[in-house]
Amino acid sequence: MDRRVRGAGHPHPVPLLEGRLTRAVSVGAVVVNYNAGDHLVECVRSVRAEGVVDIVVADNASTDGSDRAVAASDPNVVVLPTGANLGFGAAANRGVAACPGDYVLLLNPDTLVEPGTVKVLAAALDRDPGLALVGPRIENLDGSLYPSARTFPSLADAMGHAFLGLVNPSNRFTRRYRMLDWDHAAARDVDWVSGTCMLLRRSAFEAVGGFDERYFMYVEDVDLCWRLWHAGRRVAYEPAGCVVHTIGLSSEQSPYRMIAEHHRSLLRFSATTLTGPKRALLPLVAAGLAVRTTLAWLQRLRRDRPPAALH
């Protein structure tokens, strides 16, 4: 598979050695895998092209042979079986523990790392000891921006986004939450970045206990960044690095379960962060998320069913 050049509207091959690390940087990489097929091999290949020596694939009991395929394609990859589908955060914790490096690049398996990205992200952590983690620009396969840098929303923004976002993604609540009125062209501190790709400073990650493994899927990245900020560390976005997100594999394999898991994780995060008088609103949040789960299921059902079946 050709790796796409950022900003181009068509596939274009690039030299594999472009943008490699040119100094001794202690960077390892962890890819959390669950039935990612050929995407995993391509992801690891893009990381290897960056000059990263230590790559660990934390495999959540895949049944599609992707764990064996990546081992065959790159004998130096460490495939770490987790023994079951533990979810993203739990597998990532095990991968980070097994991976050497002061910095650890954490990736979804359906991503491609653009040339020079690891070097750029590592330089950001080198320059600023207060940074706990940094995330790159993330693009969809068509070159459009995936808004991976976001805010910790107020309760009003969270509820507005939860309901209006289903029918009108450009509503003001969603725009604030996803930071859509910022051009994403400048490096800056942000509340949180997506776990699709982030470079972690190991010492900061371990100091807050890594990912909270009670989150099976989704929001574990938000929770991690929340705890890092509250521990006096910072999170940043660096658009000079770029990763292409090819497809939402985990969500598409069990879409209805993942909708439920997403809302379960949102409720857990709300229970963690709502304090003082606002905690009395938690039952209302739970009821709202239950309604949104049903609406999201119905929306997905309409998308999945043939048009004739909807009449």
135 in a structural domain: yes
- Residue 13's H or E segment, with its range, is none
DSSP state of 81: E
> What is the rounded CA–CA span in Å between residue 140 and residue 245?
5
Does residue 134 have a pLDDT over 80?
yes
pTM (2 decimals)?
0.84
Residue 36 pLDDT: 95
pLDDT band of residue 17 (cuts 50, 70, 90) is: very low
Q: Which two tokens stand for residue 155?
A: 């309760």
Q: Indicate whether 245 and 277 sit together in one domain.
A: no
> What is the rounded CA–CA span in Å between residue 249 and residue 276?
38
Does residue 163 have a pLDDT over 50?
yes
The residue segments making up the domain with residue 117 are: 27-147+184-252
168 in a structural domain: no
Owner of token pair 């029918």: 167
**What is the average per-residue pLDDT within 29-36?**
97
Residue type, 200: L
Residue 22 pLDDT: 44
Q: Indicate whether 204 and 291 sit together in one domain.
A: no
Q: Indicate whether 188 and 298 sit together in one domain.
A: no
Residue 307 pLDDT: 53
> What is the rounded CA–CA span in Å between residue 35 and residue 53?
24
Cβ-Cβ contacts under 8 Å for 135 (sequence gap 6 or more):
148, 149, 190, 193, 194, 197, 198, 199, 235, 236, 237, 238
93 in a structural domain: yes
How big is the chain, counted in residues?
311
